[in-house]
Amino acid sequence: MKQLLLVFIGGGLGSSLRYGFGKYLNSTATGIPYGTFAANIIGSLLIGIILGMAAKNSILSQNTTLLLATGFCGGFTTFSTFAYENHVFLKNGDFGTFALYTIGSFIVGFAAVFLGIWLTKIA
């Protein structure tokens, strides 16, 4: 039950922060979801760092890892919003933005995870 509560608290904090990112960074003028992109990339970097630290040594307990990785990063990043935003791009015929956003999110997101893990190895 304690672990579920940790995931719940972390997820609530992450989701609240993601909401703020979307509210203040997503562009209503262009429709480009900068906030979602930033949340997903920062979350990818953070989960790389968190899981890299957990794998490298015992700095993070299992409960701390659940709170931060599963809870916070899980709530902060969002695949469902990413998928919906891409649906809107396709529906509006904005294939260029769809391609750039999708490919950019995957490439930069994966690179951020690898960077986070690499940072824990050199630290």
Q: What is the pLDDT of residues 18-67, one digit of tens each?
A: 999 999 999 888 889 999 999 999 999 999 999 999 998 778 999 999 99
The pLDDT assigned to 54 comes to: 93
The pLDDT assigned to 58 comes to: 78
pTM for the predicted model, two decimal places:
0.93
Contact 68, 10 (CB under 8 A): yes
The pLDDT assigned to 56 comes to: 86
Radius of gyration of the chain (CA): 16
The pLDDT assigned to 5 comes to: 97
The rounded Cα 32 to chain-centroid distance in angstroms is: 17
